[in-house]
Chains A and B, each alone.
Chain A
């Protein structure tokens, strides 16, 4: 069976039950593909055993890029390209550059972070996000389990584990 195609979905009503279910399902040795929830659930990342996001590093690097670009641009413009004397200061008066540098740093850090987040979460314009269960955008939490990665576990056992841990429904879903 191919990976990333066929899933068993557990639908949960309540975040506390969901958190507990994640713990129980993982304890049985079943590997969870992903959990979808309408809002951030506190502590879910830790229960799923996810590593901390490296988004801050992307933000920092984009910030550094912004600082560098801003300073280079201003020094080039004011010192070499079109030197002007403003307010009797030197052509390249460093304190004058700080506000623009600050703004570009913040702008690039923010945009870069949003862009990286969108691409890494498959929200890019050319991406086709998968809908496992539409209700995960409304009032249900959806736990997706990839059948292929759990090939050694019996299908019925996965369904049972979901049910006993508090899922209100257990469905299957396949993507082409």
Chain B
């Protein structure tokens, strides 16, 4: 609003060549590591397993694609989700940060294409339920349990043919997410030009509708994209587990971009109080994630029903994945809990940069632990291919988000609560 005079509200982020260079170098290192990883895996040869099922390096490539598809889709949609939350909660403090959240959504259309393409190329390597023989009663591989769940993927077609219901859900979720993102962003940009409070009310209305849709779609997408990898196994908590993981990673990414922009001299009106609040969000939702993770683990561990505990036995008893369970807990709970506990840590950029970077890595490991044991078994692990693919996706995501951030004002200058954000003090 007009009262805020000291700051340049028309400031735009200048996506300089220097920043682009850093992103391209990181992406280049990623591609290099990825190629090296593929070469190492391919030249290592296809080793036949006992039981005659040959493992091929492409499987590992596809599993990596899938981990990052799901993970970065999550960070992107959390940007839009957190934006919508600000409006639904009528929050004023975050006004100066709205455009950062919004910029993540630009990844969604790309994520949609990547995910659909990966599914069509890699379905048999990722999802056991895509094999038609598990539904064939005459086959030796017939699986009564998967047959019982088949309709969830194939309805109304015959089981084992084309997973129309699954694909429709994927297209529908991405379609609506992109639709809501476009709606919210165009309203927000329009507000820059026209001013007035009517845009705020309209955005709040669309945010509320989006949040209801997201509440359902985030859970179902978690079952579809992640839980269905271990087709026999299920957990009623899984939707929230994946959401919690996405949310912490998304919040960390928002915090990192904010701190990065502050360091570059942008966002003068964002002060240590805003940064403190972002730090609190990261801290609180790290604990929320741990709570969900542990709730899922404790019940399964305590009841010890074989069909449930197989999920954790596959991970904890494995030489490949066992250590990463503990890395996961340390990076995503112990570290943020202890480091971000004090007020001072949440108000100093150096701690936030360290913790948020490690949390983004930590939640990637969380998704790695969800996807790889069910797809690759003991052929998985964190190697060159994994690091390379993470860097490629990460730098592509950063490029898309930052280049679109630079196209509009960094601050929603006609937002009715801008004054409140400017005076934010805790």
Residues of A within 8 A of B (CB): 42-43, 52, 56, 60, 87-89, 95-96, 98-99
Contact = CB atoms under 8 A, between A and B. Distances in A.
Given A43-B425, A98-B294, A99-B298, A88 B304 contact: yes
Contacts of A60: 341
Nearest to B341: A60
A56 B342 CA distance: 8
Interface in B16-33: none
B7 interface: no
B298 A87 contact: no
Contact of B298 (A42, A52, A88, A95): A95
Interface residues of B, number: 11
Nearest to A99: B298
20 contacts: A42-B425, A43-B425, A52-B343, A56-B342, A56-B343, A60-B341, A87-B302, A87-B303, A87-B304, A88-B304, A89-B302, A95-B297, A95-B298, A95-B301, A95-B302, A96-B298, A96-B302, A98-B294, A98-B298, A99-B298
A88 B306 CA distance: 13
Contacts of A88: 304
A42 B302 CA distance: 48
Contacts of A89: 302
Nearest to A42: B425
Interface in B335-383: 341-343
Contacts of B342: 56
B248 to A, nearest CB: 19
Contacts of B343: 52, 56
A95 B301 CA distance: 8
A157 B301 CA distance: 73
A46 B297 CA distance: 46
A43 B425 CA distance: 9
Contacts of A42: 425
A89 B425 CA distance: 51
Contacts of A96: 298, 302
Interface in B300-342: 301-304, 341-342
